[in-house]
């Protein structure tokens, strides 16, 4: 387990955050700017000393009332938001900096593996200022891996990159997620990154943890005080069950039952994928619709209805097999359809975002 | 050049060399503390360090003379311990020069350290470098330009000091008679040719040192975008 509880207060800001998540996969610390996610990450790294704090990884205490392990003795790797490479060293020198400082017996991640995972072999002899933003971040990630950390901390590693560089680096993060058993704590304010990469979600608002749990489950909660607005929606696990060459569509069989058709991006048959369905893209009907342009219709039952941010809107959670969908409807529709928990309904899904290659 | 002039030149170089070395040892930790300390005393310390920039050298020299002389707190204590006081000695000159040239060492170093930023030392810590390790492997290499400026400016500034030396050191050949004093003596004795030789020597040497520093800094600045 990763167990954290930190209290930090300075004028205008207070952090009192506590969470506990399994020490595997990617845990996203998600919240708006100013919600305290970066402060929380710095506390975990020991870069910021919370006067009251406790942190343990797999039962090993790094900080409590008696203990404070300084940053340079913690088995962590950290990737910062902006390029943080040492400008007086080349890419290779940066990779070697941390690696030289750990005992050979501790070198569990082979340097070659880190170089290969991030695809940086051609960059090794370049000066840092001759690298693009995306290349610098890849070197920075490899540098963090080269110290064979037992916990990888990433502070919005993509935030300083443009959309193109971001899209180019995401597959490397997918590979990282697949290839290493290393637990990762990933700070982000971009829900699309979180939906793609995270297994666990810790939601922060105004310095407090307002929800924490497995990604799919947490996103399908209707009672989150943090309004996700247009980002409200669910993430479903699926695998590619069929590819239709004529219409360039792929059938994604949902792990919880049911299937959705999405545009075929060339993901191989049988590949496990994540599917993101936004609440605003889901509408509900009492019966299956005929003569509709929407091909994706799922049958399930209403589980809960909650207020949305706008008084004219409501969020409806419906159960489809063992998974859940959220639909954003007008209150008027909820009333006209006489929706109530337990009632069978059909969901029409207008748009499905396929997030590739997660195993 | 006369033997006395050669002696003055050699003494001047020794004084500047020793002062620079002493200031380097004092200045590195002091500048680091000034650059990073959140303490309110840092701003007081910074002002004290800058004082020699604005005080007339004679004021500084006068206080040093009083302090180091046989009646002074330092000189008097030394005498009670059976040691010589420090007024009109080479050691006294080194102490006075160290204080006189302090801002020339500390300010460029402080600015360079501040420019390195917290981020770089944070990164070093996450890569297993302890504070000392990070200072020598990251902070100092990234402060090369500031370090070079600090050393050169301190050396050049000490070469040319006059007022402090005159007050603390007097004019003892081989012990405290440095170039600037020798020039003053020559000029007073209307030996303009000798004064010219030494003045030109100081002028050219100072210019050459500054030129070297600015050329190196400029080249580095142009290489880095």
Q: Which helix (H) or strand (E) holds A8?
A: strand A2-10
Q: Report the distance separating Cα A271 and Cα A356, nearest Å.
A: 8
pLDDT tens digits for range B17-66: 999 999 999 999 999 999 998 888 999 999 999 999 999 988 998 998 88
A215 with A237, same domain: the answer is no
Q: Are A84 and A131 a contacting pair, CB within 8 Å?
A: no
Is B129 in contact with A77 (Cβ distance < 8 A)?
no
Tell me which of A193, A219, A245 is where a domain ends. Answer: A219
The overall average pLDDT reported for chain A is 89
What integer is the mean pLDDT of B88-100? 91
* Residue of A46, A74, A77, A98 to mutate, interface with B, max B Cβ within 10 Å: A98
B35: domain CATH number is: 1.10.3720.10
Is B125 in contact with A147 (Cβ distance < 8 A)?
no
Q: Are A307 and A263 a contacting pair, CB within 8 Å?
A: no
Within 8 A by CB and 6+ apart from A303, the residues are: A317, A318, A319, A324, A341
Task: Kindly state the percentage of chain B with pLDDT values over 70.
Answer: 97
What residues in chain A have their Cβ under 8 A from chain B's Cβ atoms? 45-47, 70-73, 76-78, 80, 82, 84, 86-88, 97-98, 101-102, 129, 143-144, 147
At B142, the pLDDT band (50, 70, 90 cuts) reads very high
Range with top average pLDDT, A69-73, A242-246, B38-42, B117-121: A69-73
Position A225 in a domain: no
Task: Kindly state the percentage of chain A with pLDDT values over 90.
Answer: 52
Position A224 in a domain: no
Tell me which of A163, A185, A219 is where a domain ends. Answer: A219
Position A81 in a domain: yes
A118 with A186, same domain: the answer is yes
Tell me which of A185, A219, A253 is where a domain ends. Answer: A219
Q: How far is CA B191 from CA A109, A250, B178, B198, B215, in A?
A: 76, 100, 17, 11, 36
Of A46, A72, A88, the CB nearest to B128: A72
What pLDDT, on a 0 to 100 scale, did the predictor assign at position B103?
A: 96
Contacts of B123 in chain A (CB under 8 A): 78, 80, 84, 86
Position A228 in a domain: no
Q: Report the distance separating Cα A84 and Cα A233, nearest Å.
A: 34
Task: Using the predicted structure, report yes or no on whether residue A326 has a pLDDT greater than 50.
Answer: yes
A29 with A147, same domain: the answer is yes
* Residue of B127, B142, B225 to mutate, interface with A, max A Cβ within 10 Å: B127
| Cα-Cα-Cα-Cα dihedral sign, residues B129, B133, B139, B141 | negative
pLDDT tens digits for range A338-354: 999 999 999 999 888 88
pLDDT tens digits for range B153-171: 999 999 888 888 888 888 8
Range of the domain at B92: 3-223
What pLDDT, on a 0 to 100 scale, did the predictor assign at position B222?
A: 62
A322: domain CATH number is: 2.40.50.100
What integer is the mean pLDDT of A247-261? 89
At B221, the pLDDT band (50, 70, 90 cuts) reads low
Within 8 A by CB and 6+ apart from A79, the residues are: A137, A140, A141, A144, A152, A153, A154, A155, A157
What pLDDT, on a 0 to 100 scale, did the predictor assign at position A109?
A: 73
The overall average pLDDT reported for chain B is 90
pTM of the model: 0.84
pLDDT tens digits for range B67-79: 988 888 888 888 8
What pLDDT, on a 0 to 100 scale, did the predictor assign at position A80?
A: 93
A174 with A261, same domain: the answer is no
Task: Using the predicted structure, report yes or no on whether residue B223 has a pLDDT greater than 80.
Answer: no
Range of the domain at A124: 2-219
Q: Which helix (H) or strand (E) holds A305?
A: strand A296-307
What pLDDT, on a 0 to 100 scale, did the predictor assign at position A113?
A: 84
Is A47 in contact with B119 (Cβ distance < 8 A)?
no
Q: What is the C-alpha R_g of chain B?
A: 20
The number of domains in chain A is: 2
Our CA-based measurement puts residue B1 at a distance from the nearest CA of chain A, in whole angstroms, of 46
Position A226 in a domain: no
Task: Kindly state the percentage of chain A with pLDDT values over 70.
Answer: 98
Q: Report the distance separating Cα A305 and Cα A329, nearest Å.
A: 10
């Amino acid at each position: 387990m990763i167990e954290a509880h930190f209290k930090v207060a300075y004028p205008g800001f207070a952090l009192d955050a506590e969470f506990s998540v399994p020490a595997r996969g990617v845990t996203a610390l998600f919240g708006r700017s100013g919600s305290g996610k970066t402060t929380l990450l710095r506390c975990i790294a020991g870069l910021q000393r919370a006067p009251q704090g406790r942190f343990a990884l797999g039962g090993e205490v790094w900080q409590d009332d008696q203990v404070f392990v300084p940053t340079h003795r913690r088995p962590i790797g950290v990737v910062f938001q902006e390029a943080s490479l040492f400008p007086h060293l080349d890419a290779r020198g940066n990779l070697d900096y941390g690696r030289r400082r750990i005992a050979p017996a501790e070198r569990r991640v082979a340097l070659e593996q880190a170089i290969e995972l991030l695809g940086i072999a051609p960059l090794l002899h370049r000066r840092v200022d001759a690298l693009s933003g995306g290349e610098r971040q890849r070197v920075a990630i490899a540098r963090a891996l080269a110290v064979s950390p037992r916990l990888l901390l990433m502070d919005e590693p993509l935030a300083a990159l443009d959309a193109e560089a971001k899209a180019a680096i995401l597959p490397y993060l997918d590979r990282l997620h697949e290839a290493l058993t290393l637990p990762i704590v990933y700070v982000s304010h971009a829900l699309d990154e979180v939906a793609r990469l995270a297994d666990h979600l810790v939601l922060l608002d105004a310095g407090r943890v307002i929800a924490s749990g497995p990604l799919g489950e947490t996103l399908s909660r209707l009672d989150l005080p943090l309004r996700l607005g247009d980002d409200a929606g669910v993430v479903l696990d699926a695998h590619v069950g069929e590819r239709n060459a004529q219409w360039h569509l792929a059938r994604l069989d949902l792990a919880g039952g049911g299937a959705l058709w999405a545009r075929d991006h060339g993901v191989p048959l049988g590949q496990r994928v994540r599917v993101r369905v936004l609440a605003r893209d889901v509408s509900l009907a009492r019966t299956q619709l005929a003569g509709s342009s929407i091909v994706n219709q799922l049958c399930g039952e209403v589980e809960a209805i909650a207020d949305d941010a706008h008084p004219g809107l409501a969020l409806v959670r419906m159960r489809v097999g063992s998974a859940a969908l959220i639909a954003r409807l007008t209150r008027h529709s909820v009333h006209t359809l006489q929706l109530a928990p337990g009632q069978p309904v059909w969901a029409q899904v207008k748009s499905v975002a396929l997030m590739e290659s997660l195993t | 050049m006369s033997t006395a002039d050669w002696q003055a030149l050699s003494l001047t170089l020794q004084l500047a060399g020793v002062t620079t070395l002493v200031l380097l040892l004092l200045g590195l930790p002091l500048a680091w503390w000034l650059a990073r300390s959140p303490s309110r005393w840092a701003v007081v310390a910074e002002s004290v360090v800058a004082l020699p920039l604005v005080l007339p050298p004679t004021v500084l020299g006068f206080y040093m003379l009083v302090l180091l002389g046989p009646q002074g707190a330092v000189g008097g204590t030394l005498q009670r311990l059976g040691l010589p006081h420090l007024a009109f000695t080479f050691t006294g000159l080194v102490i006075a020069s160290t204080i006189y040239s302090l801002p020339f060492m500390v300010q460029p170093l402080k600015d360079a350290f501040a420019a390195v930023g917290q981020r770089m030392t944070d990164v070093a810590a996450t890569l297993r470098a302890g504070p000392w390790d990070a200072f020598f492997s990251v902070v100092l290499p990234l402060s090369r330009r500031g370090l070079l400026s600090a050393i050169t400016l301190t050396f050049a500034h000490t070469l040319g000091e006059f007022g402090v030396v005159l007050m603390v050191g007097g004019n003892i050949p081989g012990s405290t008679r440095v170039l600037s004093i020798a020039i003053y003596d020559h000029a007073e004795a209307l030996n303009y040719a000798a004064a010219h030789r030494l003045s030109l020597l100081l002028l050219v040497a100072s210019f050459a040192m500054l030129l070297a520093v600015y050329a190196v800094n400029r080249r580095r600045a142009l290489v880095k975008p």
